[in-house]
Structure 1
């Protein structure tokens, strides 16, 4: 059993810029990010993106802002905006977002949620790097647990969690009522003991030499984690 007799409350994540090679994550500032964020994840073209979210889709920037303000003010979300980086230069196009949720500094636990990828971000190395930066930030702060939760009917979210390296823990039945439907929630996590291996696999998968000239991967992320 791990000795936690000297355990101390951990800092809150999501308060600083997280810079990667291909993408930069910035704490949400609506005055700076609002227009670009709505262009990436709002409007009729992104209706399906919000199918499994508690709210949305959003027809206007004001509607999206009200939702994110609710998350921040009522649920203490720390939303992070994803920007593309070109040749390592920040300030690129806004492509999507995610939020740190259910942050429990005293226990060293946090959840990633409201994962909203615009069309240009989906199924890209930028998306994987962005998620890796968020996870790495939490564990760098000394957290012990990082969570991913989703509707059991959301097959894409479950695949994404498992591909990244989250471990399935079980299902909370009749957990929520969302958009007039009952939701069973699938729970996943990565612990601090598991993170080094997950991180190593991500690092190897994201390396330039894992991709052909046409951008296709040579090896899957799962294969690196299995070796």
Structure 2
């Protein structure tokens, strides 16, 4: 297993972003199961019989060092997961995605705080651009990314087939280091 260079514990007050550890697998399964409907707008389903296959997909990316996964812990409770994806150190670009926040933590500032920690960490480690790729149907995530200060740069039409067979459009957002104000709430 190759550890991702950005994979380290990040923390602020009662929130800890801990590098993914399979010991939390069942806690993630339980958190994912709290919102059965949301998975219709994700590329992969993380509930029911889909959980094992999808987690193996994520874990393969963690193992090859292509992704860095972070368990989102709030006061010790698993609140979700987010990832650095396809980090290109040569071009100093990475994506933050594959994010899920449990329903009880939505609207509480957890997502903004988590993203702020991840963005600050990436920029402090020499990255100059962060991308977010969001299903065009996911208006809540698009609004959250805009709130971070990212700019919508375009739409990739019909670029991904989701686990349901839906052919989605993907909205691309970019955030540059010199534009970042650290203002996620």
TM-score by length of 2: 0.88
- Alignment equivalent of 2:148, drawn from 164, 169, 181: 164
- Alignment equivalent of 2:125, drawn from 128, 131, 141: 141
Pick the structure with more strand per residue: 2
Which residue of the partner structure matches residue 19 of structure 1?
11
- Superposed, 1:7-156 pairs within 5 Å as 12-13=5-6, 15-31=7-23, 33-41=24-32, 43=33, 45-59=34-48, 62-63=52-53, 65-73=55-63, 76-85=66-75, 92-156=76-140
Unaligned runs of 5+ in 2: none
Counterpart CA distance in 2 for 1:185 and 1:126 is 24
Deviating more after overlay: 138-147 vs 48-57: 48-57
Deviating more after overlay: 55-64 vs 148-157: 55-64
Counterpart CA distance in 2 for 1:40 and 1:151 is 21
- Secondary structure of 2:41 counterpart: coil
Larger Rg: 1
TM-score by length of 1: 0.73
State the superposition RMSD in angstroms. Answer: 2.0
- The higher-RCO structure (CA 8 Å, 6+ apart) is 2
The size of the alignment, in residue pairs, is 180
- Secondary structure of 1:24 counterpart: strand
